[in-house]
């Protein structure tokens, strides 16, 4: 009698493990890198599509077109690695990045250009950090190689956004120490 209930429990236990079995590498540093890089690429592509429709500055529009082209190419490389490793990739932006895209969509003129370029600086700084982390901690040679390949491209994107006038918000100044009592 005890064997039958155990036989019925095995499929239930296996079914509860199915999500993790379908994506065995999604929680590794390499899988997380592929997912994070996808979010970055989606954000750069979507904000740059908005820039093509909103900006009248030809230099900003040229930069946006470059971002769409190069981040689409990068995402195709990420897709291939993720598919080969069973790593699921996000299809949409997380809410905090979608809010930024929506906010940019409400701006126009010089205010749009400034906000777009500032987002590009912040986004590329964050992406650089993720790329460097993968190169240091990654275990999958092909994924580490992709991070190394993308690093100079992202560095150039950052430099170009800064040259066009983009800045990152500065960190708050540290609090002054209290005056010492005599």
Name all domains of the chain by residue range, CATH numbers in brackets.
Answer: 25-163 (1.20.1260.10)
Instruction: Provide the 3-class DSSP secondary structure of residue 132.
Output: helix
Q: How far is CA 136 from CA 132, 139, 146, 157, 158, in A?
A: 6, 9, 13, 22, 21
Confirm whether pTM is higher than 0.85.
no
Please compute the mean of the pLDDT values over residues 98-124 and round it to a whole number: 97
pLDDT in tens, 56-70: 999 999 999 999 999
* Residue 132: pLDDT over 90: yes
35 phi and psi angles, rounded to 5 deg: -70, -45
pLDDT in tens, 120-129: 999 999 999 9
Q: Whole-number mean pLDDT of the chain?
A: 85
Higher local confidence (pLDDT), 166 or 112: 112
Please compute the mean of the pLDDT values over residues 162-171 and round it to a whole number: 81
Instruction: Tell me the C-alpha distance between 104 and 115, whole Å.
Output: 7
Query: At which residue do the structure tokens 């895209």 appear?
Result: 101
């Amino acid at each position: 009698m005890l064997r039958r209930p155990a036989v019925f429990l095995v499929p239930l236990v296996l079914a509860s493990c199915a999500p993790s079995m379908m994506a065995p590498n999604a929680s590794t540093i390499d899988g997380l890198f592929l997912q994070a890089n996808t979010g970055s690429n989606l954000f750069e592509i979507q904000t740059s599509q908005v820039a093509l429709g909103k900006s009248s500055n030809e230099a900003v529009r040229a930069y946006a077109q470059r971002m769409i082209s190069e981040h689409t190419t990068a995402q195709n490389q990420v897709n291939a690695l993720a598919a080969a490793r069973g790593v699921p990739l996000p299809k949409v932006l997380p809410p905090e990045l979608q809010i930024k895209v929506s906010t940019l969509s409400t701006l126009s003129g010089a205010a749009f250009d400034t906000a777009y370029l500032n987002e590009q600086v912040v986004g590329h700084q964050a992406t650089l950090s993720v790329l460097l982390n993968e190169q240091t901690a990654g275990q999958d040679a092909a994924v580490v190689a992709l991070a190394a390949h993308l690093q100079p491209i992202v560095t150039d994107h950052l430099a170009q956004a800064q040259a066009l006038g983009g800045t990152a918000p500065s960190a708050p100044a540290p609090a002054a120490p209290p005056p010492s009592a005599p």
